[in-house]
Structure 1
Amino acid sequence: MSTLPPCYAIIPARYKSARFPGKPLADILGKPMFYWVYERASRCQLMKKVCLATDDQRIFDAAKRLDVPVVMTDPGHPSGSDRIMEAAEILGLEDEAVVVNIQGDEPALDLDMPGKLVEPFVNPDIQVTTLARLIDSKQAENPDRVKVVRSERGFALYFSRSKIPHFRDVQERDADYLLHIGLYAYRISALRTFTSLPPSPLEQIEKLEQLRLLEAGMGVYVVMTDYQGFGVDRPEDLDLISEQMRKLQNLP
């Protein structure tokens, strides 16, 4: 029986954002947003270490003041995956390690999510994991909601902004679509390969980075969940997330 390799969580936190510059520093209940993401991720007992990966001195200094482990990374990275890879190298993570990419804009992160992502890695054949949940036909029509179809073994066959699968001769039911939830875990070797590859044709068409993995023949294992996260995309989202955080922290 294989054992789970050492697991780490890294939270990419860039300063620049078209819709919300400085988002990781946004105040939520008196602390910056990145602190709450770190605090939630740190509660997962399967994580050997949780660390912030930033490209901005302001975020770096704020993390140091709050005793949040942090590394400074290149501001020129094209994606969060590249930032995660640099952070893993700075931290000197073991080649056999698994790293979880925790989105830095979900301060109410479900405490079970990091664990669900890493548990499949007891199987040495698993290289990359991600999450999905059932949604209905109406929700699936939104191109901003990425859909995934998977094999009987649980591996992703395709990710798309389109409504997949297409029901031609069979009746569509209330919940026949899988919404992809953009949390990932990688073996370091798989992440290194992924970030060394150029953007792939399908990736460029759909604007979905994960298609690069499939086009390269790298299996992505899709873990089913009921998780419905709430990401902070704009300043107007702060009131709602603050209300959620008060409930999570048992505050009035």
Structure 2
Amino acid sequence: MKIISMIPARYRASRFPGKLMQDLGGKSVILRTYEATVNTKLFDDVIVVTDSDIIFNEIVNNGGKAVMSKKEHECGSDRIAEAVELMDIDIVINVQGDEPFTEKESLKKLIDVFKDDHNKEIDLASLMVHITDEDEINNPNTVKVITDKFNFALYFSRSPIPYPRDKNVGAKYFKHKGVYAFRKEAILDFYRLPMLPLEASEKIECIRYLEYGKRIKMVKTNVQGVEIDTPEDLERAKKLWK
């Protein structure tokens, strides 16, 4: 299988504009993410795909690979789909541009899902982390996921799921980490299919796959890292980096 990583990178993030160009230990957040992904040595290629000249130049001027998106997109998956449509690849892994603590172990688990899927029953795979902090469970910026007994995703939400009507049943909460591995056909399908009401309501792009009957295999990881969505997240990332 030919496996690449694409890092969608939008400069004008709604909650924290310009976050990918913020300094993290002497380098920009997006460059840290790119270098961390390359350093896993898991991929045939690693490419940043962006609508921003600033981000494009940041990567290319530091010896990396980047491509410009041809048009505006609703989400990172659309941006990637446009970029890979004519590429000869089997699997593409979407690493979010605000994940500078990307590491090898979790990404390898995603790749292994497809190596073991001989009948090609899995359309995409993604990561989840067990969480116990009530503030995080109730935080709408933290996307939660519930799965069936085989770890296929049933639903994603910004609300706490499952709802804790009975706290004595031992239900666990899992945070969805925004790292996806797609079969090429699956991400192209995503690009062509219109957004439906559940995705539009939650603003969680992987819900589109569920609404159209795709199968998402969730993989447990113990690596939390820091996703930089807010200035407060950036400060936490700086402390962790030190």
TM-score, length basis structure 1: 0.86
1:18 — aligned with what? 14
For residues 156-193 of structure 1, what are the alpha-carbon distances to aligned partners after superposition, in whole Å with 9 as ceiling and x for unaligned?
111122322235567143x6122222211100100000
Residues 46/205 of structure 1: CA separation in 2 closer, same or farther (3 Å cut): same
Q: Does 1:219 align with 2:212?
A: no
Q: How do 1:105-124 and structure 2 match up within 5 A?
A: 105-122=98-115, 123=117, 124=120
**Residue type at the aligned position of 2:97:** G
What CA distance in whole angstroms lies between the structure 2 residues aligned with 1:240 and 1:167? 29
Residues 193/29 of structure 1: CA separation in 2 closer, same or farther (3 Å cut): same
Q: How do 1:19-98 and structure 2 match up within 5 A?
A: 19-89=15-85, 92-94=87-89, 97-98=90-91
**Residue type at the aligned position of 2:130:** L
SS at match of 1:183: strand
Residues 54/157 of structure 1: CA separation in 2 closer, same or farther (3 Å cut): same
Residues 207/236 of structure 1: CA separation in 2 closer, same or farther (3 Å cut): closer
What CA distance in whole angstroms lies between the structure 1 residues aligned with 2:204 and 2:231? 25
2:94 — aligned with what? 101
State the aligned residue count: 238
Report the Cα offset of residue 57 of structure 1. 1.3
SS at match of 1:47: coil
User: Does the CA contact (< 8 Å) of 1:108 and 1:244 recur in 2?
Assistant: no
- Which consecutive unaligned segments of at least 5 residues does structure 1 have? 247-252
What CA distance in whole angstroms lies between the structure 2 residues aligned with 1:29 and 1:198? 40
What CA distance in whole angstroms lies between the structure 1 residues aligned with 2:131 and 2:25? 32
Residues 231/93 of structure 1: CA separation in 2 closer, same or farther (3 Å cut): same
2:127 — aligned with what? 131
Residues 25/163 of structure 1: CA separation in 2 closer, same or farther (3 Å cut): closer
Tell me which moved more, 160-169 or 147-156: 160-169
What CA distance in whole angstroms lies between the structure 1 residues aligned with 2:190 and 2:48? 21
Larger Rg: 1
- Which consecutive unaligned segments of at least 5 residues does structure 2 have? none
User: Does the CA contact (< 8 Å) of 1:23 and 1:33 recur in 2?
Assistant: yes
SS at match of 2:139: coil
Q: Does 1:177 align with 2:170?
A: no
Report the Cα offset of residue 33 of structure 1. 1.7
**Residue type at the aligned position of 2:225:** G
SS at match of 1:58: helix
**Residue type at the aligned position of 1:67:** G
Name the Cα RMSD after superposition: 2.0
